Amino acid sequence: DATQLSMCLTLPLLQCGTEEHRKLDREIVRKSLVLLKNGKSADKPLLPVSKKAPKILVAGSNAENLGYQCGG
């Protein structure tokens, strides 16, 4: 929520990267992710991805940055 987000933005620099801070970061990411559409129709969902899928493409400027992908 907005209170937690503002708290995160005002933490002293020494608290950044601590386990508590990373937990808060992950919670913010979980609450902010939005799934816009799950496939073309309800009977043909895209997610969850089949375990038999040979490859999954992750694209974009942060595709190789695990920190950005995992919230901490």
Task: Please report the pLDDT score of residue 5 as a whole number.
Answer: 55
pLDDT > 90 fraction of the chain, expressed in percent and rounded: 0
* Predicted local distance difference test score (pLDDT) of residue 69: 75
pLDDT of residue 13: 66
Note the pTM of the prediction, 2 decimals.
0.33
Query: Is 46 within 8 Å of 38 (Cβ atoms)?
Result: yes
Domain borders along the chain are 2-63
Mean pLDDT of 42-51: 82
Beta bridge partner(s), residue 27: none
Mean pLDDT of the chain: 77
Q: How far apart are CA 72 and CA 37, in angstroms?
A: 26
Split at pLDDT 50, 70, 90, the class of 42 is: confident
